């Protein structure tokens, strides 16, 4: 294969990589209910895309995701890369600056895995677990949870803007009925396939733009409060 043909093959890759934690692996839902799987299914109406390669585990923080990625065999370049990480940093009371530094490193790695194309990368905001049954029944200050998650999301949105990647806010979606029984799995904490469907619907048009390369990421992706 010549150099030009190799470059063309890379440009037409159909691989989809989803990086994250319990929200990306879909804790408590069937594989078909995971939002990356739902997103890939929806994308196939307009684009050729493989089933997502998911590198995620329930409970992972930014450093734990980074450690797992260091031992994972990737097959870049990926046509689409998503990153959703940070809820466990907040839950464990980790330092915000520590999160910023580790998130930026993860996002730079995500861009590398997308063949250096920042426009092929989508950051998804951290949902608000304080609205769930688990959150309401915990002894945690729900207003403080919301404030801390807003700070984390402001940080990851700012870094996303600096590195010129796409950004999708699902935090507002999680706060809009996210505590309803049909929006949660049995543990009362993790989203159901129905909630993930709402996320995938929000991510879909952004993913379509990312795959088309016809428009640059939003110049101001700061999440709603």
Is residue 80 a contact partner of residue 49, using CB atoms and an 8 Å limit? yes
Q: Does residue 194 lie within any of the structural domains?
A: yes
Q: Does residue 5 lie within any of the structural domains?
A: no
Dump pLDDT digits (tens) for 138-177: 999 999 999 999 999 999 999 999 999 999 999 999 999 9
* Phi, psi (degrees; rounded to nearest 5) at 54: -105, 120
Find the length of the chain: 225
Is residue 216 a contact partner of residue 176, using CB atoms and an 8 Å limit? no
Is residue 185 a contact partner of residue 192, using CB atoms and an 8 Å limit? yes
Residue 12's pLDDT band (cuts 50, 70, 90): low
Q: Does residue 69 lie within any of the structural domains?
A: yes
Residue 215's pLDDT band (cuts 50, 70, 90): very low
Domain residues for the domain of 77 are 14-212
Q: Does residue 188 lie within any of the structural domains?
A: yes
Residue 222's pLDDT band (cuts 50, 70, 90): very low
Report the domain count for the chain. 1
pLDDT given for residue 69 in this prediction: 99
Q: Does residue 65 lie within any of the structural domains?
A: yes
In the sheet that holds 121-124, the strands lie side by side as: 53-56, 16-20, 80-84, 121-124, 166-168
Q: Does residue 222 lie within any of the structural domains?
A: no
CB crowding 171-182: b at 16 or more within 10 Å, else e: bebbbeebbeee
Q: Does residue 223 lie within any of the structural domains?
A: no
Residue 214's pLDDT band (cuts 50, 70, 90): low
CATH code where residue 42 lies: 3.40.50.1110
Is residue 18 a contact partner of residue 54, using CB atoms and an 8 Å limit? yes
Q: Does residue 78 lie within any of the structural domains?
A: yes
pLDDT given for residue 213 in this prediction: 74
């Amino acid at each position: 294969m010549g150099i030009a043909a190799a470059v063309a093959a890379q440009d037409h890759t159909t691989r989809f990589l989803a990086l994250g934690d319990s929200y990306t692996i879909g804790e408590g839902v069937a594989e078909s209910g995971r939002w990356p799987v739902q997103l890939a299914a929806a994308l196939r109406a307009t684009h050729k895309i493989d089933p997502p390669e998911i590198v995620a585990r329930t409970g992972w923080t930014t450093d734990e995701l980074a450690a797992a990625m260091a031992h994972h065999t990737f097959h870049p370049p990926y046509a689409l890369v998503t990153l959703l990480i940070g809820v466990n940093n907040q839950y464990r009371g980790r330092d915000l600056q520590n999160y910023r530094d580790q998130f930026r490193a993860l996002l730079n790695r995500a861009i590398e895995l997308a063949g250096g194309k920042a426009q092929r990368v989508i950051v998804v905001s951290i949902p608000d677990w304080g609205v769930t049954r688990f959150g309401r029944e915990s002894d945690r200050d729900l207003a403080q949870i919301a404030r801390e998650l807003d700070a984390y999301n402001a940080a990851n949105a700012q870094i996303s803007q600096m590195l010129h990647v796409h950004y999708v806010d699902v935090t507002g979606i999680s706060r809009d009925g996210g505590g309803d029984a049909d929006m949660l799995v049995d543990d009362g904490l993790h989203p159901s396939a129905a909630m993930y469907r709402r996320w995938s619907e929000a991510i879909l048009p952004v993913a379509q733009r990312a795959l088309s390369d016809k428009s640059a990421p939003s110049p101001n992706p700061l999440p709603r409060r």
